[in-house]
Every structure is written in structure tokens, then in C-alpha cells.
Amino acid sequence: MAIQERRRLLAGPHEAQPFARRPTRSGFWARFRREPGALLGLSLTLLLVLTAFGAEYLAPGDPFSTSREVLQAPSRSHPFGTDDLGRDLFRAVIHGTRVSLLIGLVTAASAAILGLVVGGIAGYSGGLLDDLLMRLAELFQVIPRFFLALIVVALLGSSIWLIVLLLSLTYWPSTARLVRAQVLSLREREYVLAVRAMGARNSRILLRHVLPGTLPPVLVQAALLVGGAILVEAGLSFLGLGDRDVVSWGLLLNDAQQFVRQAWWMSAFPGAAITLTVLGLNLLADGLNEAAQPRRG
């Protein structure tokens, strides 16, 4: 009995009681399926991903190619109409999905990794290092990211990777504070105390036994960050500070400003794409949160 108890404590939260794995996972999916908004968000997100990967098949051709069919209303040959240069808006919106998804995913992944590292070290170490890292996070958190992006892009140029870097540096503090709060709770669990008593190194304890327990809320946070990054990029492009070498939804909205009354479709379809994307990601994040932390009582 003592040996079995010792193995249970050393296993950690994800390895203890192996026979309970299947009910836990099925329970998560069952709670997720009971949320209509979560299923809608998952469907919209999957549609976004499939559209991005299948852009060449859904709308083949160069989205920058022009024609003489200027400001044509939506029709069978041009489902979303054409712009003032004769470019097919359906092709532009479909190809713009790649840029928006790339910016959102890379920003969310970078912010999540940086937040995991900083929050994990701060929460597990405590003391002066914890205070220093949290003050650094607060410093980045109070910086208005949109106005900072405006200034940097205006001075250094409008590159996609520059925008991603700026967004990553301003989004990670929220993830770091979330991870720190989780680590402060997990580091006092029985299995962590048992592993520490066995003489395991702090780095091993943190990477193998503590940080895996913080992943569910981090994934929820990352889903929200994807939508936020897409909105910021669209706002910059709408103001004319986006990268004009690639097609993005914000760039299409910027081109449509002069033709709102004359060609409503130029702003309607890119705007609808942004709305549905952000809505789907937010619904997905809410569904994941409800499934991971079910309400009690």
C-alpha cells in the first residue's frame, strides 16, 4: 500500500489514477457539446482554417490581378463583386484569410510561450524574482498596444512580422499573470511536494509536473488572443499602416473607404469575414472555458 501511494503522489495530476482518464476526457467533450455557442465557434474556426489552407483551390489566381470590370456588383462570375481596380473581391477575401490567420496564430503562440516561461518561473520561484517579473509584466501591460503599433509602424514601416512582434510583446503579460496564478496553486499540491522530497531538480518539477497543469486556461487565453491580434492588424491596415504587399481584410476595408455609398460590397464582405472570425474564436474560447471549468451547484 505504501508503494502504491508513493507512485500515486509521484505520478502528478495527469498520470495519477490512469483508469480515470477516459471519463475525464469524455466528460470534457460532453460538456463542450452541450454549449451551442461552443459548437458554433468550433464550426466557424474550422471553416476559417479550411479556407486558409484551401485558398488556392477555392479562389485560384492572383488576388492583385486587375481587370476592366470595375465596381461590379456581386454576380455569378464575381460572388463578392469587384473593386475600383477590377479585382475580384471573393478571391481577395479568401486569400486574406491566410494573412489574418497567420498573424493571429503566430501572435497567440508567441505570447503563450513567453507567458508560460515568465509566469512559470515567477510563480514557482517566488520572492524577489517573482516581484521583478511581475513588475515587468505590468510595464508591458499598461502600454497601449494599438497606439504603440501606430507609432512603430509609422516610423519603421508596415511589415507583417513587425506587427506580429509588437503584438506578441504586448499580449504576453496577461498570459504570464494567468500562468503565475495557476503555478502558485499547483506548486503546493501533494504530488509536487513528493517529487521535491525525492530530490528532483526545480526545472524538472516545473516543466514536467507543474506547467502541464496550466495548459487548459492558457489554451482558452490563446483563442482570445488570436481574435484580438486579427482585430489590431485589421485596424492598422484600415488606417493605411498595413503591409500592402499582401492581401488582408483590413487592407480591403481601407480601399473601400472611398466607395462606401457607391459600392457597398467592398466593405460588407471583408467586414463580415472579420466579424465571423472574431465571433467564432470568442465562442470557441468561452466553450473551452466552460468545458474545462464546469459550474458547480
Q: In this predicted model, what pLDDT tens digit does every residue of 84-137 receive, in sequence order?
A: 888 999 999 999 999 888 888 999 999 999 999 998 888 888 888 889 998 998
| pLDDT for position 294 | 59
Q: With pLDDT > 70 as the criterion, what percentage of the chain qualifies? A: 89
Q: Which residue has the higher pLDDT, 29 or 223?
A: 223
Question: Does the pLDDT of residue 19 top 50, yes or no?
Answer: no
Whether 173 and 141 have beta carbons less than 8 Å apart is answered as yes
Strand partners, 246: none
pLDDT level of residue 1 (50, 70, 90 thresholds): very low
Provide the residue ranges of all domains of the chain, joining segments of one domain with +: 2-292
pLDDT level of residue 8 (50, 70, 90 thresholds): low
Question: Does the pLDDT of residue 249 top 50, yes or no?
Answer: yes
> The domain at 2-292 falls in which architecture?
Orthogonal Bundle (1.10)
Question: Does the pLDDT of residue 296 top 70, yes or no?
Answer: no
Q: What is the mean pLDDT of residues 19-32?
A: 56
Q: Which residue has the higher pLDDT, 290 or 69?
A: 69
Q: In this predicted model, what pLDDT tens digit does every residue of 175-227 receive, in sequence order?
A: 999 898 888 888 777 777 787 777 777 777 777 778 788 888 888 888 888 98
Q: In this predicted model, what pLDDT tens digit does every residue of 55-89 receive, in sequence order?
A: 889 988 888 888 888 888 999 889 999 998 889 99
Task: Flag whether the pTM goes above 0.85.
Answer: no
Q: Which residue has the higher pLDDT, 30 or 60?
A: 60
